């Protein structure tokens, strides 16, 4: 809206006095002087600019800087907050800021302002790229995200001026990304306020209804709360515990989420009040806990000790839920004053200006480790959307605490499995993981871990990640490491397969592959979308290019000689992702085989008589001749079906015969067509067709076996 005369007068009278008053409580006079200069530059730069509410624009950066001052951030962060919109929205440049206030302030302004260019784009890729840039800037300097969180907090506090559609979009973005990041950094008060404001603007009707319900219930419950406070104070005093006790109403978003998660009505949510007890030291925390457990009975399973085992963001407190008067559950938090400071401000509580040799606090170390893990995930993610997906996985609020065999504690998101644990220990442990012991007992890798589990990972030197792990891992690190490994392995195998296919095509054209020189590759790559030889070979291996076409492209037209056959590719059986064996016909060495080129996936090996490939046999561009390498030493899966007489112990007899034939059983299932006969389906592992014939011979000698069939197609 255009500024009125009154608004113009207001812009002249906006004062940084509140900011200066707060900053002066912990900063030096020379720092205050620089902050005043930064305000003067910001006020001049934003002169004549107004917010949607009609206020002078300078009120926004001033409010953001004041929030940061309340968190006791350093002077560079406060100056950057005052100037964070100047480079983007005014004629002020980064060079000017660097000259007047130093490179550190300029870098912070640059890190924050660049993010806003994509702020409200609706395309998924653009939004994901925006968040990716924000998180990477945060990983380099955590003050970037602290400024951004303060910026988002003030925008949410003043969201009334926006139209309803934009309010909902910003609220959803806040709940999806910004409030979880605040929680992950331990900024509990910021997290809770963003949650409440997000709920208010995303679900305005529900917010109003719940607000009225709480206001109506407040009078009825005030007397109960007063009695509980009195009883707690008296009991703590009798135990000699000096404490500051306060009762608090639960936040609207917390009540709403509890109603949603547990399908409760408002009247069923009894514990809308919680109590916080602040004491002088750790010993007093446990003494207070014991005192309260003698006052009201604790509810089993509702006690959590975050002092002995802090949360990943550094949060420490004792949590207990008690049966209060009239059967009302009472949630109580017990912590020291220092723990309370960290619980409210998180990593920001440790951001006072310090010398470079000051050791990092435990909270800062944990934050630093998490930020570094984001950088790792970024380098391994395929694109910004995948990175954002990993980030959202990593922002789970609930955690489980498990122990290594040496007794060290690992904090993992709720729903984590031994695979997540393995990658948390080390990437190599995750990549070579084959089994796990939970509390000294073997357990499947997909087992969900519980608090207090002791986890031991069993590894093998030549093991590799299984793509199926992606279906149940819970941590962003595990997911990104598995995907990165599979991508890398697929590329390497595709290049190797592509080279074999290309060499086959060159030999079919009566050309020795060793005679193809760099000049011929350079000529082929001119104007091509692929920039390197490896990219071309990978595309051949993945079926995106035909080997014969590339082979002809490498040769002068005069050198081309036609030949009916192209020779054949040797299959060792140890190939990985780029060469796979069809599940429909399960080929084994000795079977006549054929390779089908699948676009984007590589080579799929079928038996030549497989019904699934009849449609491809007439199109030679889609298949290649392949043959088995002699004595590959690998075991292959074969499906066999037995019809046996229904007698006691017959399954054990058949299994023993399979073992005697030096074969492994991979899986077994049983059906009963009638009371006389039983059908048993085995998946067994054999070396080749001769080994299978020997196995079937052993099985036919069993009197109870009526019929044996190898299952194909």
Catalytic sites, residue numbers: 88-89
Could you give the count of Cα atoms lying within 13 Å of 621 in the half-sphere of its Cβ? 6
In whole angstroms, give the CA distance from residue 522 to residue 164.
Answer: 58
Q: Where are the beta strands (DSSP E) in 545-671?
A: 569-571, 579-581, 593-598, 602-607, 623-628, 636-645, 664-671
Strand-pair partners of 329? 323
Nearest in space to 349 (alpha carbons), one of 308, 316, 392: 316
Classify residue 513 as exposed, middle or buried by CB count within 10 Å of its CB (0-12, 13-18, 19+): middle
In terms of phi and psi (left: phi > 0; alpha: psi -120 to 50; beta: otherwise), the region of 373 is alpha
Question: How many Å is the maximal CA-CA distance in the chain?
Answer: 105
CA 401-406-410 angle, to 5 degrees, is 20
Strand-pair partners of 580? 604
Do β-strands 664-671 and 433-438 pair in parallel, antiparallel, or remain unpaired? unpaired
Q: Which residues contact 32 (CB under 8 A, 6 or more apart)?
A: 20, 23, 24
Give me the DSSP letters along 209-257: HHHHHHHHHHHHHHHHHHHHHHHHHHHHHHTT---EEEEEEPPHHHHHH
DSSP secondary structure code for residue 56 in this structure: B
DSSP secondary structure code for residue 92 in this structure: -
Angle at which helix 143-157 crosses helix 188-202, to 10 degrees, equals 40
For the chain, how big is the Rg over CA atoms in Å? Answer: 34
Q: Which residues contact 396 (CB under 8 A, 6 or more apart)?
A: 413, 414, 415, 474
**Reduced to 3 states, what is the DSSP secondary structure of residue 157?**
helix
Give me the DSSP letters along 249-312: EPPHHHHHHHHHHHT--GGG----EEEEEEESSHHHHHHHHHHHHHHSEEPTT--EETTTS--T
In whole angstroms, give the CA distance from residue 623 to residue 138.
Answer: 50
Q: Which residues contact 301 (CB under 8 A, 6 or more apart)?
A: none
In whole angstroms, give the CA distance from residue 9 to residue 425.
Answer: 61
> At residue 494, what are phi and psi to the nearest 5 degrees?
-65, -40
DSSP secondary structure code for residue 4 in this structure: P
Nearest in space to 468 (alpha carbons), one of 490, 448, 445: 445
Query: 641-654: b or e for each residue (b if 16 or more CB lie within 10 Å)?
Result: ebebeeeeebbeeb
In whole angstroms, give the CA distance from residue 693 to residue 662.
Answer: 12
In whole angstroms, give the CA distance from residue 619 to residue 432.
Answer: 41
Nearest in space to 436 (alpha carbons), one of 451, 419, 460: 419
Q: How far apart are the first and last CA of the chain?
A: 72
In whole angstroms, give the CA distance from residue 113 to residue 90.
Answer: 12
Give me the DSSP letters along 348-376: GGG-S---TTSPPPHHHHHHHHHHHHHHH
**Reduced to 3 states, what is the DSSP secondary structure of residue 152?**
helix
Q: Where are the beta strands (DSSP E) in 535-592?
A: 569-571, 579-581
């Amino acid at each position: 809206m255009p500024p009125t005369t009154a608004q113009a007068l207001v812009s002249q009278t906006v004062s940084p006095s509140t900011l200066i008053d707060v900053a002066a409580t912990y900063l030096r006079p020379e720092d205050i002087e620089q902050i005043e200069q930064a305000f003067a530059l910001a006020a001049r730069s934003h002169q004549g600019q107004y917010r949607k509410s009609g206020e002078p624009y300078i009120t926004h950066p001033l409010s953001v800087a004041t929030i940061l001052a309340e968190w006791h951030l350093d002077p560079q962060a406060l100056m950057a907050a005052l100037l964070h919109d100047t480079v983007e929205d005014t004629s002020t440049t980064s060079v000017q800021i660097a000259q007047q206030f130093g490179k550190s302030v300029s870098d912070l302004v640059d890190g924050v302002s660049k993010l806003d260019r994509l702020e409200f784009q609706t395309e998924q890729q653009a939004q994901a790229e925006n968040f990716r840039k924000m998180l990477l800037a945060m990983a380099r300097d955590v003050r970037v995200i602290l400024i951004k969180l303060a910026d988002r907090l003030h925008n949410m506090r003043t969201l009334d001026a926006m139209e309803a559609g934009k309010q909902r979009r910003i609220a959803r973005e806040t709940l999806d990304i910004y409030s979880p990041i605040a929680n992950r950094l331990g900024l509990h008060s910021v997290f809770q306020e963003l949650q409440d404001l997000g709920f208010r603007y995303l679900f305005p009707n529900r917010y109003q209804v719940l607000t009225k319900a709480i206001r109506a219930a407040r009078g009825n419950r005030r007397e109960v709360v007063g009695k509980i406070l009195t009883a707690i104070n008296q009991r703590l005093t009798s135990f000699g515990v000096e404490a500051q006790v306060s009762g608090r109403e639960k936040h609207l978003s917390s009540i709403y989420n509890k109603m949603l998660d547990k399908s409760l009505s408002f009247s069923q949510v009894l514990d809308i009040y919680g109590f916080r007890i602040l004491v002088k030291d750790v010993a007093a925390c446990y003494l207070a806990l014991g005192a309260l457990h003698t006052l009201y009975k604790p509810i089993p399973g509702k006690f959590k000790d975050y002092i002995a085992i802090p949360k990943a963001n550094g949060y420490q407190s004792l949590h207990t839920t008690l049966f209060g008067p009239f059967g009302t559950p009472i949630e109580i938090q017990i912590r020291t004053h220092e723990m309370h400071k960290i619980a409210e401000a998180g990593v920001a509580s440790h951001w006072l200006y310090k010398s470079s040799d000051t050791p990092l606090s435990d909270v800062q170390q944990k934050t630093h480790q998490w930020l570094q893990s984001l950088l790792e995930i970024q380098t391994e993610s395929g694109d910004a959307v995948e990175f954002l997906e990993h980030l959202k996985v990593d922002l789970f609020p609930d955690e489980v605490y498990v122990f290594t065999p040496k007794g060290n504690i690992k904090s993992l998101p709720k729903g984590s499995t031994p695979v997540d644990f393995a990658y948390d220990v080390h990437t190599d442990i995750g990549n070579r993981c084959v089994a796990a012991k939970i509390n000294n007992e073997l357990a499947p890798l997909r087992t969900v871990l519980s608090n207090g589990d002791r986890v031991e990972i069993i590894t093998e030197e030549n093991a590799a990640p299984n793509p199926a792990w992606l279906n149940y891992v819970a941590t962003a690190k595990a997911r990104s490491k598995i995907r990165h490994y599979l991508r890398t392995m697929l590329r390497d195998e595709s290049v190797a397969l592509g080279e074999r296919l290309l060499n086959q095509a060159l030999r079919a054209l009566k050309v020795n592959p060793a005679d193809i020189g760099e000049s011929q590759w350079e000529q082929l790559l001119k104007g091509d979308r692929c920039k390197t030889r490896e990219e071309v070979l990978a595309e051949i291996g993945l079926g995106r290019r035909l080997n014969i076409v590339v082979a002809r492209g490498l040769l002068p037209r005069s050198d081309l000689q036609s030949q009916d056959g192209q020779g054949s590719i040797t299959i060792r059986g140890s190939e990985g992702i780029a060469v796979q064996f069809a599940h429909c016909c399960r080929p084994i060495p000795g079977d006549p085989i054929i390779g089908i080129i699948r676009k984007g996936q590589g080579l799929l090996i079928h038996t030549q008589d497989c019904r699934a490939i009849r449609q491809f046999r007439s199109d030679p561009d889609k298949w290649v001749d392949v043959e088995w390498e002699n004595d590959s030493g690998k075991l292959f899966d074969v499906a066999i079906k037995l019809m046996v007489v229904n007698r006691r112990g017959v399954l054990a007899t058949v299994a023993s015969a399979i073992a005697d034939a030096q074969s492994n059983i991979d899986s077994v299932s049983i059906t009963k067509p009638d009371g006389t006969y039983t059908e048993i389906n085995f998946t067994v592992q054999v070396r080749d067709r001769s080994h299978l014939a020997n196995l079937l011979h052993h099985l036919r000698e069993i009197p109870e076996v009526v019929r044996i069939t190898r299952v194909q197609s």
